[in-house]
Structure 1
C-alpha cells in the first residue's frame, strides 16, 4: 500500500466518523416522534398544577400537556418524582421533558432549554386564617416554610436579608409545609402566587394569602435538555401559541386558577 493510498484511507475513515457523529447527534423531538410518545416528569403534589386525586393525576399541567401532546401528535406518559430529582433526572436522560412548572431563572437557562411561560410564578406568603401578617414585611422575625431546592427558596432568602431576618425552614413538599403551618410550627409559607391563591380558594377557613406578592415578577416554564431538546421546545412553543390563540389556555386558567392571566408571547428577559 502506497503512502498516498494510506492517506486517502485515513481521510476517508475520519470523514466517515465525522458523518456518523453528525448523524448520531441526539434530537429529542425526532426520537419522541419515532417512539410515538413523550415521557414527562413532574411532582404530583403541587396543586393546582399537579395533583393526585384518588390515585389519578390531575391539574393544570396535566390538562395543558394533554393538549400539547395532541398538537405534537404523540402520547404523553407521566412520571411522578420528587422535585429534587427531576432536573438531575432530565440531564441523565431518565425521561424526555420536565412538566413540573420550573421557575425561569438566568442560572437555569444556562443549563436547560425553557419553553414559553405557562404561568405566573411571583412569590407570596400564605398564613393561617386570622394570622398576624398584614403585609409581606411583617415576616421579619417569623418562621417561614418553603420547598427546598426551589427558586422560591432563593427569593425568600433574598427577602429575608432585605427586611432584616426570617427563620427559614425547608421542606420536601409544599404539603408538608402547609401541614406545619396549620399546626402552628410555622408562621407562614412562601410559594408562587397562583399556588397559594388556589390553596386559599379551596380552603378559605384555613388559609389566607398575604398581599401583595413580595418576589420579583417571574414565570413558570417547562424544560427540556439544552441543545438536543431545542427542537422539542420549539415544537412545544408552537403548540402553546396555538392553544393560547384558540382560547384553550384561557379555559384552563379559569378552571384551575380562577381567572385568566396574560402571559408573555416571547421569552422574558432572565
Structure 2
C-alpha cells in the first residue's frame, strides 16, 4: 500500500495518507463544509447536494468531468468516508450517474464514475488539523474558495478553534492584515444577520468586505458602536441603491461631506442622491 505524508503543524509528525478506491454511493458530503456554515438547521445529504449543485461553478465542473472521463484530482475523505475536500466533485459524479440511469447520457459508461479514488488518512485526524488543511487548500492555496467562504473559514479558525491572528497567519500563509480583514468583515456579516433576521442573507458579506477596502469607512465604523448600527440600518433600508455592495466602498466620498450626509440620512435620501452633491 503506497503512502505519503501531509505536514500540518511544525510540532507534529505528518499525517500519513493512502489512496483508497471507494464506491461513490458510500461517500458522504461534509455537513461542516464552508458552504453550509451560515445555515443553522442540520442538513441532510440530499439537501447539501442540492445546494452544491445550485452553484454555477458546479455545473461547469460537471461538464469538465464528463469531457475528461473522470476526476483529475482525488477527493480527501475521512476514515468514515466523509468528504473533507472535494464535495463539489462528488456531487458532479452523483449527477452523472443519475443522468446515465435516466437515459440523459446514453453514450457514457457508468463504470468510469461509480468508484472514486480518494486520499484517506491512515489514522484519524484532529478537527483543528482538518481545518488548517482546508485553509491551505482553499484560503491561500491554488483552489481558492470565494472571498465569502475564505473569510468564513478564517472566522471559524478564530472563534471555534481558538487560533490567534498570528497562528492563522502562520498556518494559512496570509499576512496579518488579510487575516484581520477576512475575520472582521465576516464577523460584521454575522452581527448584521443577527440584528436583521428578516435580511439574514450571507451574501451581505460583500458589503462589509468592500468597507475594508478603504480606511475611511472602516475607521468610522470601528470607532463607535452607534456608527456600526447606523451602517447596518442603511444596508437594511437599501440606501446603497446604485451598485449595491460597491457603494459602501465609495461611501467614503459622502461621509466627510456634511451636505451629502444630510441628504443620505434624510428619509428619502440614498447613495445615488447623495453622490450628486459630492
TM-score range, shorter chain: under 0.3
TM-score by structure 1 length?
A: 0.26
Q: Name whichever structure is richer in helix by fraction.
A: 2
